[in-house]
Structure 1
Amino acid sequence: MSQALVRTAAGWLMGLMLAVAGAVVAINLVNNSLASPQQPVREYLDALQKGEGGKALGLLHATVPQSNPAMLDGEALKTAAARISGVKFGDAEDRGGDQVMVPIDYTINGAQLHTEFLLQRSGTQWLFFHDWSFVPAELPTLSVTVVNSNQATLNGVPVNMPNGRNTFAVFYPGEYEATLNGQFFAAPATRATLSGRDTPPAPLNLLTQATDGLKDAVSAKVKQFLDDCADQADKKQQLQPDCPFYHTTNNRVADGTIDWSITDYPVVKIEPFGGRWVVAPLDGKARIKARQTDLFTGAVTELNAVHDFSFTTRLDIDGDTVKLTPQLSN
């Protein structure tokens, strides 16, 4: 009996030791996976890529600086994180005081990037499993400017740009793209990649330009103005009409023979100036044909002269309406 009891007790003891060893292994596995400091980072990145800004902000324990929050949720946030790929987690590095640094390496648009997250041990569950949380910090910001516009698009979302500028709170890592694609004004896309809170991106500056659509609209109005001017000068038989072009002579020009035409229409250039859009001086050429008599000799000749002309015009845009007001000095 005693030997049987000893063997039974030894068996129970061995089983208990194996169970304890298994429990230790299981605890270590859990602490190195689901309860590891890398796990909150995984959940945070997942929230970014799903556009779940509230969850990401809660995980990060971050405060939002005084700024525009348009990039902190939904499609704008999903777009910022959409190009993050190939994420590799490094080993947590002890930083003292129950804090660790979790590094990740990844790519955005093929560029190799590195980000470090600081976490702290915040407790345990079931006596054995560690709780980790991000060390609270403030979100970084991204500055955007746009020439002569109060609107822009950032990560596909229309945003207000008071006086042509704004500052946006942003999550990291991520990529942010600013554009302006209006009917009359547009700016090439410009991008900024943000890899960390302590490495703020350079401001995104949108260099607005007049679109071909606006240039064509202004050119058509300039052409119409000049053609109408020439037609009115013909009807009134004027050498010096209320137009950018005119002709002076000491000869007598026969009524009914005056014929004005535009030979070279101005090339329209629209530029920003003083917070407005202005049309650069408009230069062209006009031809006058007529029959004239020399008052001294009485000789009758055909007048055929080309005159350079230049004028300016005021440009006003109200919604879809383009208005030109020629400024004539002669």
Structure 2
Amino acid sequence: MSQALVRIAAAWLLVLMLAVAGGIVAVNVVNNTLASPQQPVREYLDALQKGEGEKALGLLRASVPQSNAAMLDGTALQTATARISGIKYGEAEDRGNNQVMVPIDYTIDGSELRTEFLLERSGTEWLFFHTWAIVPAALPVLDVTVVNASEATLNGVPVNMPNGRNSFAVFYPGEYEASLAGEYFSAAATTATVPGRELPVAPLNLMTEATDGLKEAVGSKVNEFLDTCADTADKEQKLQPDCPFYHTTNNRVIDGTIDWSISEYPTISIEPFGGRWVVAPLNGKARIEAQQVDLFTGAVTYVNNVHDFSFTTRLDIDADTVKVTPLLSY
């Protein structure tokens, strides 16, 4: 009877020991997975990729500096992380004072990058499981400028650019792309990668240029002005009309024979200057055809001269309206 009790007690002891060992293993497994320092980082990156800015900000426990918050949620945030691939979580490195550093390696557009997250032990749950939290810090700020424009597109989202500049709080890691694609002005896309909070973020500077559409609109108005000027000069039979071009002669030109035409229209070039857009001086050629009488011999000859001309204009753009005002000097 006593031997049977001993065997039963031994069996129960073995079961208890196995249960304790299994519990220890389970605790270690949980502490190395669901309760590991890497877990808050995984949840943070998952929130970024889903565009859940509020959740990401809570996990990062970051403060938002005085700046525009357009990049902190939704489509803009998803776009920032869309090109992140091959994420690998490194082992936690002890930094003392119950803090560890968790590195992640990944690529953006083929470039290999690394971001380090500093975490601190925030407590335990159910007596055994560690809890970790990312050490709070301020979000990075991305500065964007655009020449002679008050708007731009950043990560696919239209943003205001007062006086051609703005600053945006951004999450990390991520890639941010700015561009301008307007009817009359555009700027090629430029990108900045934000791998972490430690390094300064390179600003995005958009070099705005006049579109072909604007140049065509200005060219059409300039050509219309020159054609009208030539037609008016014909009707008024003037050698020196109120136009950029004129003809001088010591002979008498026969009235009714003067015919002005534009033989070469100006090439349009529009550049930024002094906070506005200006049209470069316009250079062209005008042809005059007429008959003239030599005052000394009375001989009638045919005039067919081409004159170079140049003038400037003032360009005014209001919403969808393009106004070109010729500036002539006499």
Q: TM tier, shorter chain?
A: over 0.9
Q: What's the counterpart of residue 143 of structure 1?
A: 143
Code of the residue aligned with 1:140 in structure 2: it is P
Q: For residues 125-181 of structure 1, give each alpha carbon's deviation from its aligned partner in whole angstroms, at most 9, with x where no partner exists.
A: 000000000001000000000000000000000001011011100000000000000
Quick check: 2:311–2:326 contact (8 Å CA) kept in 1? yes
1:119 matched to 2:126? The reply is no
CA distance in structure 1 between the aligned counterparts of 2:110 and 2:304, rounded to whole angstroms: 65
SS of 2:175's equivalent in the other structure is strand
Code of the residue aligned with 1:216 in structure 2: it is E
Q: What's the counterpart of residue 308 of structure 1?
A: 308
CA distance in structure 2 between the aligned counterparts of 1:60 and 1:38, rounded to whole angstroms: 13
CA distance in structure 2 between the aligned counterparts of 1:110 and 1:50, rounded to whole angstroms: 22
Q: For residues 189-222 of structure 1, give each alpha carbon's deviation from its aligned partner in whole angstroms, at most 9, with x where no partner exists.
A: 0000110001122110000000000001111111
CA distance in structure 1 between the aligned counterparts of 2:105 and 2:256, rounded to whole angstroms: 83
Alignment of 1:103-182 (within 5 A): 103-182=103-182
Q: What's the counterpart of residue 102 of structure 2?
A: 102
SS of 1:15's equivalent in the other structure is helix
Report deviation, 1:297: 1.8
Aligned pairs, how many? 330
Quick check: 2:140–2:201 contact (8 Å CA) kept in 1? no
CA distance in structure 2 between the aligned counterparts of 1:298 and 1:318, rounded to whole angstroms: 56
Q: What's the counterpart of residue 24 of structure 1?
A: 24
Q: Report the TM-score when normalising by structure 2.
A: 0.99
CA distance in structure 2 between the aligned counterparts of 1:69 and 1:281, rounded to whole angstroms: 43
Q: What's the counterpart of residue 221 of structure 2?
A: 221
Q: For residues 57-88 of structure 1, give each alpha carbon's deviation from its aligned partner in whole angstroms, at most 9, with x where no partner exists.
A: 00000000000000000100000011111100
Note the residue ranges of structure 2 that are not aligned, 5 or more in a row: none
CA distance in structure 1 between the aligned counterparts of 2:33 and 2:313, rounded to whole angstroms: 70
Code of the residue aligned with 1:291 in structure 2: it is Q
CA distance in structure 1 between the aligned counterparts of 2:82 and 2:43, rounded to whole angstroms: 15
SS of 2:291's equivalent in the other structure is strand
Percent sequence identity over aligned pairs: 77
SS of 2:115's equivalent in the other structure is strand
Code of the residue aligned with 1:301 in structure 2: it is T
Report deviation, 1:116: 0.3
1:84 matched to 2:110? The reply is no
Q: For residues 80-134 of structure 1, give each alpha carbon's deviation from its aligned partner in whole angstroms, at most 9, with x where no partner exists.
A: 0111111000000000000000000001111111000000000000000000000
CA distance in structure 2 between the aligned counterparts of 1:297 and 1:96, rounded to whole angstroms: 109
Report deviation, 1:295: 1.0
Moved more, 296-305 or 276-285: 296-305
Moved more, 296-305 or 72-81: 296-305
CA distance in structure 2 between the aligned counterparts of 1:172 and 1:308, rounded to whole angstroms: 59
1:291 matched to 2:291? The reply is yes
SS of 1:191's equivalent in the other structure is strand
Q: What's the counterpart of residue 239 of structure 1?
A: 239
Q: Report the TM-score when normalising by structure 1.
A: 0.99
CA distance in structure 2 between the aligned counterparts of 1:323 and 1:156, rounded to whole angstroms: 31
Note the residue ranges of structure 1 that are not aligned, 5 or more in a row: none
1:38 matched to 2:38? The reply is yes
CA distance in structure 1 between the aligned counterparts of 2:131 and 2:78, rounded to whole angstroms: 27
SS of 1:242's equivalent in the other structure is coil
CA distance in structure 1 between the aligned counterparts of 2:175 and 2:162, rounded to whole angstroms: 23
**What stretches of structure 1 move > 4 A for 4+ residues in a row?**
none
Q: For residues 253-277 of structure 1, give each alpha carbon's deviation from its aligned partner in whole angstroms, at most 9, with x where no partner exists.
A: 0110000000010000000000000
CA distance in structure 1 between the aligned counterparts of 2:201 and 2:107, rounded to whole angstroms: 17
